[in-house]
Amino acid sequence: MRDETIAIHGGYTPDSTRAVAVPIYQTVAHDFIDAEHAGAVLDLEVPGFHYNRINNPTNDVLEKRIAALEGGTAGLVVSSGMAAVSYAVLTVATAGSNFVVAPQLYGATFTYFAHVLPTLGIEVRFAPDDRADSIAALIDGATCAVFCESIGNPAGNVVDLEAVAAVAHRAGVPLIVDNTVATPLMLKPISHGADVVVHSLTKFVGGHGTTLGGAIVDGGTFPWAEHAERFPLFNQPEPAFHDVVFARDFPERPFTVRARSVQLRNTGATLSPLAAFQLLQGLETMSVRLDRHESNARAVADYLAGDPRVEWVSFVGFPDHPYYDLAQRYLKGRVPSIITFGAVGGYQAGLDFFDALLLFKRLLNLGDAKSLAIHPASTTHRQLSDAERAAAGIRPETIRLSIGLEHIDDLIEDLDQALAKATARSAGTA
């Protein structure tokens, strides 16, 4: 099936009720057939649903659908995008290990890496930029993974995934890619060498700003057993789960099985069945929404680029954008509906523009049917130092726009009035 069809039908076969919509299995647990069946399910000898902190039939459809869209072997859905990032890291990292990161990251991800993981004894090495050779220089014998966002949020950089995957694999470590901004309909990292993909389903997949969710997709590509000394978590018996050896016993999907059995089972960032159902509704229409997101984004970017009150615009659809060639290569001519720009007047102009918006919603989110705006330096990235913000691609005046589905004329009218107010101060007319 093609992507548009998978997004509607993937992973679901109606049960005896023949319900066309995926049912919401709002239950805490599932009845075992007998003691033998219970033991086999709990020992992972046979598949089965048992306790909904760990798995659920509604969630299972969402997991299969996301995995199919990404070209992976299995999926795991959790309560938020940050839970997906955390579980992906903690599934492979332990105290004393390190992982190497491209610096253009979502603010909460940067903070988690820079300030939370070190308290667990996990070192995070931020590369100076997203180039493969910059990342390669930081990998050593204690490195457990390389991590990047396929399209940085909000920097808008497009990572050369094949080059980064090559240096990671040459060193014997997996590449983990956050594909939230691109979505699997625009870019499939696994086909370009990624081993694990994470998502905030809260964004474009859900699409309506109603439901939190995250996902991890196992590419089934990394040879864990060939690197047994570096990755004992995958190659030695797991005492917390019946001495299973993940690389041996689940060779096609060891990463998601370990993430579910160790991280989700024991720390419980579970996605509710109702949330999974709501995310499935959003996923069904994502292909249609992305087209409108993109056409509106192109029109807004053109408007901003031609306005003298705007000092700069960063939009990967412009031929002079530094990542334009990579976008053409990896996104096949498509563009994400994320635009960053700076109004004339610096930091204060950014604040004034943000405050003056009427139709655009001032939110931390992106990928919504509604158009959204944020001033990262005073919100999502406010805890970062000036140097850290610069490394993440954030200037003092940066505004990130997530372009929604409204009529384009209404969006431009709102931008126009907000720019007039934002630049009045610098023009001396405030």
CA distances from 61 to 13, 286, 357 (A): 9, 16, 39
> How buried is 430 (Cβ within 10 angstroms: 0-12 exposed, 13-18 middle, 19+ buried)?
exposed
Span 16-62, pLDDT tens digits: 788 999 999 999 999 899 999 988 888 888 888 999 999 999 999 99
Segment holding 41, helix H or strand E: helix 35-42
Residues 261 and 290 in one domain: no
- Structurally, the chain folds into a number of domains equal to 2
Instruction: Return the CATH number at 44.
Output: 3.40.640.10
Asked if the structure places residue 279 within a domain, the reply is no
Residues 211 and 107 in one domain: yes
Residues 236 and 300 in one domain: no
Asked if the structure places residue 366 within a domain, the reply is yes
Domain enclosing residue 331, as ranges: 286-424
How distant is the alpha carbon of residue 12 from its chain centre? 24
Given 244, 274, 304, which residue is the final one in a domain? Answer: 274
Asked if the structure places residue 200 within a domain, the reply is yes
Span 212-259, pLDDT tens digits: 999 999 999 999 999 999 999 999 998 877 889 999 999 999 999 999
Asked if the structure places residue 281 within a domain, the reply is no
Residues 256 and 291 in one domain: no
Which pLDDT value is given to residue 429? 47
Amino acid at 165: A
What pairs with residue 399 in β-bridges?
Answer: 341
Asked if the structure places residue 280 within a domain, the reply is no
CA-wise closest residue to 182 among 26, 47, 323, 338? 338
Residues 75 and 157 in one domain: yes
Residues 203 and 302 in one domain: no
Residues 108 and 170 in one domain: yes
Residues 218 and 324 in one domain: no
Which pLDDT value is given to residue 426? 62
Given 274, 306, 330, which residue is the final one in a domain? Answer: 274
Which residue stretches of the chain have pLDDT < 50?
A: 429-430
CA-wise closest residue to 257 among 92, 10, 34? 92
DSSP state of 260: I
Residues 116 and 260 in one domain: yes
Asked if the structure places residue 347 within a domain, the reply is yes
Residues 355 and 311 in one domain: yes
Asked if the structure places residue 430 within a domain, the reply is no
Which pLDDT value is given to residue 46? 86
Residues 260 and 305 in one domain: no
Terminal Cα-to-Cα distance of the chain (whole angstroms): 58
> How buried is 95 (Cβ within 10 angstroms: 0-12 exposed, 13-18 middle, 19+ buried)?
exposed
Strand order in the sheet with 338-343: 310-314, 338-343, 399-402, 372-374, 361-362
Instruction: Return the CATH number at 371.
Output: 3.90.1150.10
Given 243, 274, 305, which residue is the final one in a domain? Answer: 274
Asked if the structure places residue 13 within a domain, the reply is yes
Which pLDDT value is given to residue 428? 60
